[in-house]
């Protein structure tokens, strides 16, 4: 039986993944399966830079605006849903196109992920309140004491990562790092990766211009409409959290826009580092 192939397109935000994936999908007569942890939410129309209505009409897309911010969603759930979809689509296709910039979601499809406990939302809220009242340094120090391995290995500049590690450690009585006994899972298909890259200066210019275009398209109004839900995990996202801060009077609008650009550039840099672990770059 012929081996099925998943053509996986990865890369930083604003690198041209959407256009490239649609072109490839049309060539292969494949749908496009999105692997983006934020474009999946139907309430986030502007700030996640999803495919345009015209692009969506060109090729069938999956996991674009398919879920709501009001339902807790994880990479583990994505793994289950995406693999189920792939099994179904591979019945009629020898090759399928998947595209995205969310490294954890990509890894979930390719290798599977560790089986972590279900979230404890009450404990998470308590830790989040501590972060707001005491700052990140207090939580970092607690993590260093209770789980030194996680302290050394996770991104301790990211409050969400620290809070999740503490949530699991405190809630289960077992170190967060102890759940990371990962072994790659076998897949029934071959993954062929392409990492899209463009020169860094050009990438950063694209990012800055994209943020300006989002603001012109009504991103601030979109964020205002979601303000009451700002504490949801799905909204702790670049482009949203900076404008929430503006609405709360913590910065000016110009400062918020500059922060969105800076934080998006930093996110793109992290994406490149993540994907370069295994994927040779292809400059377009």
Q: The domain 200-271 is classified under which CATH number: 1.10.287.890, 2.102.10.10, 3.40.50.2300, 2.60.40.1930?
A: 1.10.287.890
Cβ atoms 43, 76 nearer than 8 A: no
d(CA 102, CA 104): 6
pLDDT over 90, % of the chain: 79
pTM above 0.95, yes or no: no
Residues near 228 by beta carbon (within 8 Å), at least 6 away in sequence: none
Could you confirm whether domain 4-114+184-198+274-283 is CATH 3.40.50.300? yes
Q: Determine the pLDDT at residue 157.
A: 84
Question: What pLDDT, in 10s, does the model give residues 156-210?
Answer: 888 888 999 999 999 989 998 888 766 788 999 999 999 999 999 999 999 999 9
The predicted model gives 57-63 an average pLDDT of 97
Cβ atoms 175, 147 nearer than 8 A: yes
Domain layout of the chain by residue ranges: 4-114+184-198+274-283, 121-179, 200-271
d(CA 86, CA 103): 18
Q: Determine the pLDDT at residue 26.
A: 98
**Residue 280: pLDDT above 80?**
no
Residues near 247 by beta carbon (within 8 Å), at least 6 away in sequence: 223, 224, 227
Q: Determine the pLDDT at residue 283.
A: 44
Q: Which uninterrupted H or E stretch holds 217?
A: helix 200-217
Question: What pLDDT, in 10s, does the model give residues 137-153?
Answer: 999 999 999 999 999 98
The reply to whether 4-114+184-198+274-283 and 121-179 are identical in fold is no
Residues near 175 by beta carbon (within 8 Å), at least 6 away in sequence: 146, 147, 149, 150, 169
Question: What pLDDT, in 10s, does the model give residues 201-259?
Answer: 999 999 999 999 999 999 999 999 999 999 998 999 999 999 999 999 999 999 999 99
Mean residue pLDDT of the chain comes to: 93
Cβ atoms 62, 32 nearer than 8 A: yes
Query: Of residues 179 and 42, which shows the higher confidence score?
Result: 42
Q: Determine the pLDDT at residue 13.
A: 96
The predicted model gives 122-136 an average pLDDT of 91
Cβ atoms 12, 268 nearer than 8 A: yes
Say which DSSP state 33 is in: E
Q: Determine the pLDDT at residue 279.
A: 60
Q: What tokens were used for 282?
A: 């292809």
- Collapsing DSSP states into helix, strand and coil, what is residue 255? helix
Q: What tokens were used for 17?
A: 């993944």
Question: What is the CATH code for 121-179?
Answer: 1.10.20.140
């Amino acid at each position: 039986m012929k081996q099925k192939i998943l053509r996986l397109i990865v890369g930083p935000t604003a690198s041209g993944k959407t256009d490239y994936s649609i072109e490839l999908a049309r060539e292969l007569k494949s749908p496009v399966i999105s692997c983006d942890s934020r474009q999946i939410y139907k309430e986030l129309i502007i700030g996640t830079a999803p495919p345009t209505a015209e692009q969506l009409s060109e090729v069938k897309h999956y996991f674009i605006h398919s879920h709501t911010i009001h339902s807790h969603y994880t990479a583990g759930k994505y793994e289950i849903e995406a693999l189920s979809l792939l099994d179904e689509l591979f019945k009629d296709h020898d090759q399928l196109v998947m595209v995205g910039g969310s490294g954890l979601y990509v890894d979930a499809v390719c290798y599977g992920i560790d089986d972590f406990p279900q979230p404890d939302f009450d404990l998470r809220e308590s830790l989040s309140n501590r972060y707001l009242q005491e700052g990140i340094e207090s939580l970092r120090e607690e993590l260093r004491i209770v789980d030194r391995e996680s302290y050394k290995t996770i991104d301790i500049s990211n409050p969400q990562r620290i809070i999740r590690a503490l949530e699991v450690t405190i809630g289960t009585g077992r170190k967060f790092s102890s759940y990371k006994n990962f072994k790659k899972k076998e897949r029934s298909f071959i993954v062929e990766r392409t990492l899209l890259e463009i020169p860094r200066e050009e990438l950063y210019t694209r990012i800055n211009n994209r943020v300006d275009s989002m603001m012109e398209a009504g991103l601030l109004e979109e964020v205002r409409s979601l303000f009451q839900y700002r504490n949801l995990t799905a909204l702790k996202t670049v482009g949203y959290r900076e404008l929430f801060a503006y609405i709360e009077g913590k910065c000016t609008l110009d400062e918020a826009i500059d922060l969105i650009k800076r934080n998006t550039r930093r996110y793109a840099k992290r994406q490149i580092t993540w994907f370069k672990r295994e994927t040779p770059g292809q400059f377009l």
